[in-house]
Protein backbone atom coordinates (compact mmCIF):
# COMPACT_ATOMS: atom_id res chain seq x y z
CA UNK A 1 0.00 0.00 0.00
CA UNK A 2 1.61 3.23 -1.19
CA UNK A 3 -1.17 5.66 -0.40
CA UNK A 4 -1.15 8.97 1.48
CA UNK A 5 -3.37 7.58 4.20
CA UNK A 6 -4.29 5.19 5.42
CA UNK A 7 -0.76 3.79 5.47
CA UNK A 8 0.36 0.29 6.33
CA UNK A 9 0.25 -0.38 10.05
CA UNK A 10 3.40 -1.96 11.52
CA UNK A 11 2.93 -5.31 13.30
CA UNK A 12 4.01 -3.79 16.64
CA UNK A 13 1.03 -1.45 16.41
CA UNK A 14 -1.39 -4.20 15.38
CA UNK A 15 -0.22 -6.34 18.29
CA UNK A 16 -0.65 -3.51 20.79
CA UNK A 17 -4.22 -3.09 19.60
CA UNK A 18 -4.97 -6.75 20.29
CA UNK A 19 -4.73 -6.12 24.05
CA UNK A 20 -7.87 -6.48 26.15
CA UNK A 21 -9.99 -3.35 26.14
CA UNK A 22 -9.58 -1.64 29.48
CA UNK A 23 -12.25 0.54 31.01
CA UNK A 24 -11.57 4.21 30.40
CA UNK A 25 -12.46 5.43 33.90
CA UNK A 26 -9.63 3.58 35.58
CA UNK A 27 -6.11 4.41 36.80
CA UNK A 28 -4.74 2.04 34.13
CA UNK A 29 -6.33 4.08 31.33
CA UNK A 30 -5.29 7.37 32.92
CA UNK A 31 -1.68 6.16 33.02
CA UNK A 32 -1.77 4.97 29.40
CA UNK A 33 -3.40 8.21 28.26
CA UNK A 34 -0.86 10.31 30.12
CA UNK A 35 2.05 8.45 28.47
CA UNK A 36 0.48 8.80 25.03
CA UNK A 37 -0.28 12.51 25.43
CA UNK A 38 3.28 13.20 26.57
CA UNK A 39 4.64 11.36 23.53
CA UNK A 40 2.24 13.30 21.32
CA UNK A 41 3.43 16.63 22.77
CA UNK A 42 6.96 15.50 21.91
CA UNK A 43 5.79 14.80 18.36
CA UNK A 44 3.89 18.07 17.83
CA UNK A 45 6.77 19.82 19.62
CA UNK A 46 4.46 21.88 21.79
CA UNK A 47 4.95 22.60 25.49
CA UNK A 48 1.24 22.25 26.19
CA UNK A 49 -1.18 19.47 25.71
CA UNK A 50 -2.37 17.55 22.70
CA UNK A 51 -6.04 16.55 22.76
CA UNK A 52 -7.06 13.16 21.40
CA UNK A 53 -10.44 12.68 19.71
CA UNK A 54 -12.20 9.66 18.25
CA UNK A 55 -12.63 10.49 14.59
CA UNK A 56 -10.59 10.94 11.43
CA UNK A 57 -8.42 14.00 10.83
CA UNK A 58 -11.36 16.06 9.63
CA UNK A 59 -12.95 15.75 13.08
CA UNK A 60 -10.03 17.68 14.54
CA UNK A 61 -10.28 20.33 11.79
CA UNK A 62 -13.95 20.85 12.55
CA UNK A 63 -13.36 20.71 16.31
CA UNK A 64 -10.68 23.39 16.16
CA UNK A 65 -12.80 25.71 14.05
CA UNK A 66 -16.02 25.10 15.99
CA UNK A 67 -14.32 25.51 19.36
CA UNK A 68 -12.49 28.74 18.59
CA UNK A 69 -14.64 30.53 16.01
CA UNK A 70 -18.15 31.96 16.19
CA UNK A 71 -20.81 32.66 13.60
CA UNK A 72 -19.92 35.86 11.76
CA UNK A 73 -16.19 35.72 12.58
CA UNK A 74 -13.99 36.68 9.67
CA UNK A 75 -11.35 34.22 8.53
CA UNK A 76 -8.84 34.11 5.71
CA UNK A 77 -8.41 30.67 4.13
CA UNK A 78 -5.43 29.65 2.03
CA UNK A 79 -6.60 27.28 -0.70
CA UNK A 80 -4.42 25.43 -3.21
CA UNK A 81 -5.96 21.97 -3.22
CA UNK A 82 -8.69 19.68 -1.96
CA UNK A 83 -7.76 20.00 1.70
CA UNK A 84 -7.66 23.77 1.56
CA UNK A 85 -11.18 23.52 0.14
CA UNK A 86 -12.15 21.43 3.16
CA UNK A 87 -11.38 24.39 5.44
CA UNK A 88 -13.68 26.48 3.21
CA UNK A 89 -16.47 23.93 3.60
CA UNK A 90 -16.09 23.78 7.37
CA UNK A 91 -15.99 27.58 7.61
CA UNK A 92 -19.15 27.84 5.52
CA UNK A 93 -21.00 25.36 7.78
CA UNK A 94 -20.00 27.41 10.82
CA UNK A 95 -21.28 30.52 9.02
CA UNK A 96 -17.97 32.29 9.23
CA UNK A 97 -17.24 35.18 6.88
CA UNK A 98 -14.68 33.65 4.59
CA UNK A 99 -12.00 35.41 2.55
CA UNK A 100 -10.31 32.78 0.39
CA UNK A 101 -6.82 33.32 -0.96
CA UNK A 102 -6.52 30.88 -3.83
CA UNK A 103 -3.43 29.59 -5.50
CA UNK A 104 -3.25 27.32 -8.51
CA UNK A 105 -3.28 23.64 -7.51
CA UNK A 106 0.32 22.44 -7.46
CA UNK A 107 1.72 25.79 -6.39
CA UNK A 108 2.63 26.75 -2.86
CA UNK A 109 0.68 29.45 -1.04
CA UNK A 110 2.56 32.74 -1.28
CA UNK A 111 3.41 33.95 2.26
CA UNK A 112 3.44 37.60 1.15
CA UNK A 113 0.05 37.36 -0.56
CA UNK A 114 -1.47 35.65 2.46
CA UNK A 115 -0.08 38.28 4.80
CA UNK A 116 -1.50 41.06 2.58
CA UNK A 117 -4.90 39.39 2.60
CA UNK A 118 -4.86 39.11 6.39
CA UNK A 119 -3.75 42.74 6.78
CA UNK A 120 -6.54 43.85 4.47
CA UNK A 121 -9.02 42.25 6.87
CA UNK A 122 -8.10 43.71 10.24
CA UNK A 123 -11.02 41.95 11.91
CA UNK A 124 -9.92 38.50 10.71
CA UNK A 125 -9.74 36.16 13.67
CA UNK A 126 -7.71 33.49 11.99
CA UNK A 127 -5.91 32.25 8.92
CA UNK A 128 -6.85 28.66 8.10
CA UNK A 129 -4.47 26.70 5.95
CA UNK A 130 -3.04 23.33 5.06
CA UNK A 131 0.60 22.54 5.84
CA UNK A 132 1.02 19.53 3.57
CA UNK A 133 -1.57 19.58 0.76
CA UNK A 134 -2.09 15.88 0.09
CA UNK A 135 -4.11 16.42 -3.08
CA UNK A 136 -1.14 17.95 -4.92
CA UNK A 137 1.89 16.85 -2.89
CA UNK A 138 2.78 20.45 -2.07
CA UNK A 139 4.33 21.42 1.26
CA UNK A 140 3.30 24.98 2.05
CA UNK A 141 5.92 27.07 3.82
CA UNK A 142 4.18 27.32 7.18
CA UNK A 143 7.24 28.76 8.86
CA UNK A 144 7.55 31.63 6.36
CA UNK A 145 3.80 32.26 6.52
CA UNK A 146 3.77 32.56 10.31
CA UNK A 147 6.82 34.82 10.14
CA UNK A 148 4.92 37.16 7.79
CA UNK A 149 1.97 37.25 10.19
CA UNK A 150 3.95 37.60 13.41
CA UNK A 151 2.72 40.35 15.70
CA UNK A 152 -0.70 40.54 14.02
CA UNK A 153 -4.11 39.87 15.52
CA UNK A 154 -5.04 36.89 13.36
CA UNK A 155 -4.27 33.43 14.66
CA UNK A 156 -2.89 30.68 12.45
CA UNK A 157 -4.69 27.33 12.32
CA UNK A 158 -2.93 24.61 10.36
CA UNK A 159 -4.02 21.23 9.06
CA UNK A 160 -0.92 19.15 9.71
CA UNK A 161 -2.53 15.80 8.97
CA UNK A 162 0.14 14.67 6.51
CA UNK A 163 3.02 16.73 7.86
CA UNK A 164 3.13 15.57 11.48
CA UNK A 165 5.93 13.01 11.74
CA UNK A 166 6.79 13.31 8.04
CA UNK A 167 8.28 16.77 7.78
CA UNK A 168 9.62 19.55 9.96
CA UNK A 169 6.81 21.00 12.04
CA UNK A 170 7.52 23.30 15.00
CA UNK A 171 4.28 25.05 15.95
CA UNK A 172 5.48 26.50 19.25
CA UNK A 173 8.63 27.92 17.69
CA UNK A 174 6.87 29.20 14.56
CA UNK A 175 3.82 30.58 16.34
CA UNK A 176 1.06 28.36 14.99
CA UNK A 177 -2.00 28.70 17.26
CA UNK A 178 -3.93 25.60 16.32
CA UNK A 179 -2.59 22.40 14.81
CA UNK A 180 -4.58 19.31 13.91
CA UNK A 181 -3.63 15.87 12.69
CA UNK A 182 -4.83 12.30 12.38
CA UNK A 183 -3.64 8.78 13.13
CA UNK A 184 -3.59 7.06 9.73
CA UNK A 185 -0.88 9.07 8.01
CA UNK A 186 2.76 9.30 9.13
CA UNK A 187 1.77 8.14 12.63
CA UNK A 188 1.26 4.64 11.20
CA UNK A 189 -1.96 3.83 13.04
CA UNK A 190 -5.29 2.74 11.65
CA UNK A 191 -7.78 5.52 10.91
CA UNK A 192 -9.87 6.69 13.84
CA UNK A 193 -7.92 9.11 16.03
CA UNK A 194 -7.67 12.85 15.54
CA UNK A 195 -5.44 15.29 17.41
CA UNK A 196 -5.53 18.99 18.19
CA UNK A 197 -3.26 21.34 20.06
CA UNK A 198 -4.08 24.99 20.79
CA UNK A 199 -2.04 27.97 21.90
CA UNK A 200 -3.16 30.16 24.81
CA UNK A 201 -4.36 32.73 22.28
CA UNK A 202 -6.54 30.09 20.67
CA UNK A 203 -7.99 29.10 24.06
CA UNK A 204 -8.84 32.77 24.63
CA UNK A 205 -10.93 32.78 21.45
CA UNK A 206 -12.57 29.56 22.60
CA UNK A 207 -13.72 31.17 25.86
CA UNK A 208 -16.15 33.45 24.03
CA UNK A 209 -19.82 32.49 24.44
CA UNK A 210 -21.79 31.06 21.55
CA UNK A 211 -19.81 27.93 20.74
CA UNK A 212 -21.81 25.35 18.78
CA UNK A 213 -19.70 22.25 19.23
CA UNK A 214 -20.87 19.45 21.51
CA UNK A 215 -19.07 16.17 20.75
CA UNK A 216 -16.22 18.15 19.16
CA UNK A 217 -15.94 20.78 21.92
CA UNK A 218 -12.23 20.96 22.62
CA UNK A 219 -12.76 23.00 25.79
CA UNK A 220 -14.72 20.11 27.31
CA UNK A 221 -12.05 17.69 26.15
CA UNK A 222 -9.34 19.85 27.65
CA UNK A 223 -10.99 19.70 31.04
CA UNK A 224 -11.55 15.95 30.91
CA UNK A 225 -8.16 15.09 29.44
CA UNK A 226 -6.30 17.08 32.09
CA UNK A 227 -7.66 14.49 34.54
CA UNK A 228 -6.54 11.51 32.45
CA UNK A 229 -9.98 10.89 30.98
CA UNK A 230 -11.94 11.96 27.93
CA UNK A 231 -15.32 13.70 27.73
CA UNK A 232 -16.79 10.66 25.95
CA UNK A 233 -15.72 7.04 25.57
CA UNK A 234 -12.29 7.02 23.93
CA UNK A 235 -11.10 4.65 21.19
CA UNK A 236 -9.09 2.64 23.75
CA UNK A 237 -7.64 0.06 21.35
CA UNK A 238 -6.43 2.73 18.96
CA UNK A 239 -4.79 4.55 21.85
CA UNK A 240 -2.90 1.33 22.72
CA UNK A 241 -1.80 1.19 19.09
CA UNK A 242 -0.81 4.84 19.11
CA UNK A 243 1.46 4.26 22.08
CA UNK A 244 3.32 1.57 20.14
CA UNK A 245 3.45 3.73 16.99
CA UNK A 246 4.86 6.74 18.83
CA UNK A 247 7.47 4.47 20.43
CA UNK A 248 8.54 3.41 16.93
CA UNK A 249 8.65 7.01 15.72
CA UNK A 250 10.69 8.22 18.68
CA UNK A 251 13.09 5.30 18.60
CA UNK A 252 13.96 6.38 15.06
CA UNK A 253 13.96 10.05 16.10
CA UNK A 254 11.64 12.73 14.81
CA UNK A 255 14.27 14.46 12.70
CA UNK A 256 15.46 11.19 11.20
CA UNK A 257 11.90 10.44 10.26
CA UNK A 258 11.52 13.86 8.58
CA UNK A 259 14.76 13.33 6.65
CA UNK A 260 13.83 9.80 5.64
CA UNK A 261 10.46 10.98 4.33
CA UNK A 262 12.11 13.77 2.31
CA UNK A 263 14.76 11.47 0.89
CA UNK A 264 12.36 8.68 -0.09
CA UNK A 265 9.90 11.13 -1.61
CA UNK A 266 12.66 12.75 -3.66
CA UNK A 267 13.64 9.32 -5.00
CA UNK A 268 10.03 8.47 -5.77
CA UNK A 269 9.59 11.71 -7.68
CA UNK A 270 12.83 11.26 -9.61
CA UNK A 271 11.78 7.75 -10.59
CA UNK A 272 8.28 8.73 -11.69
CA UNK A 273 9.64 11.61 -13.76
CA UNK A 274 12.12 9.24 -15.40
CA UNK A 275 9.11 7.10 -16.33
CA UNK A 276 7.60 10.01 -18.25
CA UNK A 277 5.25 11.24 -15.54
CA UNK A 278 4.84 14.92 -14.81
CA UNK A 279 4.85 15.97 -11.16
CA UNK A 280 2.15 18.44 -10.12
CA UNK A 281 3.86 19.94 -7.10
CA UNK A 282 6.10 22.94 -7.47
CA UNK A 283 7.16 22.68 -3.82
CA UNK A 284 7.45 18.96 -3.19
CA UNK A 285 6.48 17.80 0.28
CA UNK A 286 6.76 14.38 1.87
CA UNK A 287 3.16 13.19 1.95
CA UNK A 288 2.99 11.96 -1.61
CA UNK A 289 4.13 12.53 -5.15
CA UNK A 290 1.22 13.53 -7.39
CA UNK A 291 1.88 13.01 -11.08
CA UNK A 292 0.16 13.09 -14.43
CA UNK A 293 0.87 9.82 -16.24
CA UNK A 294 2.69 10.03 -19.60
CA UNK A 295 0.51 11.46 -22.43
CA UNK A 296 -2.17 9.09 -23.62
CA UNK A 297 -2.07 6.87 -20.51
CA UNK A 298 -5.21 6.83 -18.34
CA UNK A 299 -4.51 7.25 -14.63
CA UNK A 300 -7.43 4.99 -13.78
CA UNK A 301 -6.04 2.14 -15.90
CA UNK A 302 -2.66 2.37 -14.15
CA UNK A 303 -4.30 2.30 -10.72
CA UNK A 304 -6.52 -0.63 -11.71
CA UNK A 305 -3.60 -2.67 -13.09
CA UNK A 306 -1.69 -2.13 -9.87
CA UNK A 307 -4.74 -3.09 -7.79
CA UNK A 308 -5.06 -6.32 -9.74
CA UNK A 309 -1.45 -7.04 -8.82
CA UNK A 310 -1.84 -6.34 -5.13
CA UNK A 311 -0.47 -2.79 -5.06
CA UNK A 312 -2.53 0.18 -3.94
CA UNK A 313 -1.80 3.76 -4.95
CA UNK A 314 -4.20 6.71 -4.79
CA UNK A 315 -6.13 8.60 -7.44
CA UNK A 316 -6.62 12.35 -7.86
CA UNK A 317 -9.15 14.25 -5.80
CA UNK A 318 -11.50 17.10 -6.58
CA UNK A 319 -10.64 18.80 -9.85
CA UNK A 320 -7.73 16.40 -10.37
CA UNK A 321 -9.97 13.31 -10.12
CA UNK A 322 -9.21 10.81 -12.87
CA UNK A 323 -6.15 12.73 -14.04
CA UNK A 324 -3.32 11.86 -11.71
CA UNK A 325 -1.63 9.20 -9.62
CA UNK A 326 -0.68 9.86 -6.01
CA UNK A 327 2.05 7.69 -4.55
CA UNK A 328 3.18 7.87 -0.95
CA UNK A 329 5.92 6.44 1.23
CA UNK A 330 4.54 7.89 4.45
CA UNK A 331 4.97 5.74 7.50
CA UNK A 332 7.50 2.99 7.96
CA UNK A 333 9.24 2.70 4.59
CA UNK A 334 12.85 2.36 3.51
CA UNK A 335 14.94 2.61 0.33
CA UNK A 336 13.83 -0.76 -0.93
CA UNK A 337 10.18 0.20 -0.56
CA UNK A 338 10.78 3.26 -2.75
CA UNK A 339 12.36 1.05 -5.40
CA UNK A 340 9.64 -1.60 -5.09
CA UNK A 341 6.96 1.03 -5.59
CA UNK A 342 8.77 2.40 -8.63
CA UNK A 343 9.22 -1.08 -10.12
CA UNK A 344 5.51 -1.78 -9.75
CA UNK A 345 4.39 1.56 -11.19
CA UNK A 346 6.83 1.32 -14.05
CA UNK A 347 5.44 -2.11 -14.92
CA UNK A 348 1.89 -0.76 -14.76
CA UNK A 349 2.73 2.17 -17.02
CA UNK A 350 4.30 -0.16 -19.58
CA UNK A 351 1.34 -2.54 -19.43
CA UNK A 352 -0.94 0.43 -20.06
CA UNK A 353 1.05 1.35 -23.17
CA UNK A 354 3.68 3.84 -22.03
CA UNK A 355 6.80 3.67 -24.21
CA UNK A 356 9.34 3.76 -21.42
CA UNK A 357 12.47 1.64 -21.20
CA UNK A 358 12.28 -1.16 -18.65
CA UNK A 359 14.14 -0.14 -15.50
CA UNK A 360 14.13 3.62 -16.15
CA UNK A 361 12.17 4.52 -13.01
CA UNK A 362 14.06 2.06 -10.84
CA UNK A 363 17.45 3.33 -12.04
CA UNK A 364 16.52 6.96 -11.44
CA UNK A 365 15.22 6.05 -8.01
CA UNK A 366 18.51 4.36 -7.05
CA UNK A 367 20.48 7.33 -8.37
CA UNK A 368 18.45 9.74 -6.26
CA UNK A 369 18.86 7.54 -3.19
CA UNK A 370 22.63 7.49 -3.68
CA UNK A 371 22.87 11.25 -3.41
CA UNK A 372 24.06 12.48 -0.02
CA UNK A 373 21.14 13.83 1.89
CA UNK A 374 21.91 17.18 3.56
CA UNK A 375 21.73 16.64 7.30
CA UNK A 376 19.04 18.73 8.96
CA UNK A 377 17.73 19.92 5.61
CA UNK A 378 14.17 18.83 6.34
C1 LIG B 1 -6.03 12.81 5.20
C2 LIG B 1 -6.08 14.28 5.36
C3 LIG B 1 -7.06 14.92 6.17
C4 LIG B 1 -8.07 14.16 6.95
O5 LIG B 1 -8.88 13.37 6.21
P6 LIG B 1 -9.74 12.28 6.97
O7 LIG B 1 -10.34 11.51 5.86
O8 LIG B 1 -10.71 12.98 7.80
O9 LIG B 1 -8.76 11.51 7.81
C10 LIG B 1 -6.99 16.27 6.32
N11 LIG B 1 -6.06 17.00 5.72
C12 LIG B 1 -5.11 16.45 4.95
C13 LIG B 1 -4.10 17.34 4.33
C14 LIG B 1 -5.10 15.07 4.73
O15 LIG B 1 -4.16 14.52 3.96
Encode pLDDT of 354-365 as tens digits.
Answer: 999 999 999 999
Predicted local distance difference test score (pLDDT) of residue 374: 67
Distance, CA of 110 to CA of 80 (rounded, Å) = 10
Encode pLDDT of 64-123 as tens digits.
Answer: 999 999 999 999 999 999 999 999 999 999 999 999 999 999 999 999 999 999 999 999
Report the separation in Å between the CA atom of 272 and the middle of ligand 1, taken as the mean of its atom positions: 24
Going by alpha carbons, the residue nearest to atom 3 of ligand 1 is 57
Encode pLDDT of 23-79 as tens digits.
Answer: 999 999 999 999 999 999 999 999 989 999 999 999 999 999 999 999 999 999 999
Position in ligand 1 atom list of the atom nearest CA 130: 13
- 8-34: average pLDDT: 97
Cβ proximity of 66 and 89 under 8 Å: no
Distance, CA of 43 to CA of 52 (rounded, Å) = 13
Report the separation in Å between the CA atom of 57 and the middle of ligand 1, taken as the mean of its atom positions: 5
Predicted local distance difference test score (pLDDT) of residue 89: 98
Predicted local distance difference test score (pLDDT) of residue 378: 46
Going by alpha carbons, the residue nearest to atom 4 of ligand 1 is 57
Position in ligand 1 atom list of the atom nearest CA 184: 9
Predicted local distance difference test score (pLDDT) of residue 372: 81
The residue whose CB lies within 8 Å of the most ligand 1 atoms, and thus the one to mutate among 182, 193, 238, 317, is 182
Report the separation in Å between the CA atom of 353 and the middle of ligand 1, taken as the mean of its atom positions: 33
Going by alpha carbons, the residue nearest to atom 14 of ligand 1 is 161
Question: Using the 8-state DSSP alphabet, how is residue 24 labeled?
Answer: S
pLDDT value at 377 more than 80: no
From the list 167, 208, 168, the residue with the least C-alpha distance to 72 is: 208
Predicted local distance difference test score (pLDDT) of residue 7: 97
How do 278-279 and 155-159 pair as beta strands? unpaired
Encode pLDDT of 170-182 as tens digits.
Answer: 999 999 999 999 9
Report the separation in Å between the CA atom of 58 and the middle of ligand 1, taken as the mean of its atom positions: 6
Position in ligand 1 atom list of the atom nearest CA 131: 13
pLDDT value at 232 more than 50: yes
Encode pLDDT of 146-194 as tens digits.
Answer: 999 999 999 999 999 999 999 999 999 999 999 999 999 999 999 999 9
From the list 40, 41, 93, the residue with the least C-alpha distance to 63 is: 93
Report the separation in Å between the CA atom of 1 and the middle of ligand 1, taken as the mean of its atom positions: 17
Encode pLDDT of 296-334 as tens digits.
Answer: 999 999 999 999 999 999 999 999 999 999 999 999 999
What's this model's pTM, rounded to 2 decimal places? 0.97
Position in ligand 1 atom list of the atom nearest CA 159: 11
CA distance between the termini of the chain: 24
pLDDT value at 341 more than 80: yes
Report the separation in Å between the CA atom of 161 and the middle of ligand 1, taken as the mean of its atom positions: 6
Distance, CA of 138 to CA of 222 (rounded, Å) = 32
What is the average pLDDT value for the chain, to the nearest integer? Answer: 97
Position in ligand 1 atom list of the atom nearest CA 194: 9
Question: Using the 8-state DSSP alphabet, how is residue 361 labeled?
Answer: H
Report the separation in Å between the CA atom of 265 and the middle of ligand 1, taken as the mean of its atom positions: 19
Q: How many helices (H) and strands (E) does the chain have?
A: 14, 13
> Which protein residues are within 6 Å of ligand 1, measured from CB?
5, 56-58, 83, 130, 132, 134, 159, 161-162, 182
pLDDT cut 70: percent of the chain above it: 99
The residue whose CB lies within 8 Å of the most ligand 1 atoms, and thus the one to mutate among 3, 4, 5, 142, is 5
Amino acid sequence: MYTPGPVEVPPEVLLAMARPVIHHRTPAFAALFDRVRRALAGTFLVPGEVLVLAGSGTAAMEALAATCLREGDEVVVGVAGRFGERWLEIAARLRLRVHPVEEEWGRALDPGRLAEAVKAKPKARALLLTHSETSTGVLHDLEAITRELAGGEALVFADAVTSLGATELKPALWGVDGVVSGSQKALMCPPGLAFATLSERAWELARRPGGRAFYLDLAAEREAQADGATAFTPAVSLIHGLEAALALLHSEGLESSWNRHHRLTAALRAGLEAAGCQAISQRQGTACVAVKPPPGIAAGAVIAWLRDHGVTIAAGQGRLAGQILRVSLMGRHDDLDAITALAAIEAALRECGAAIPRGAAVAAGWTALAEPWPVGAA
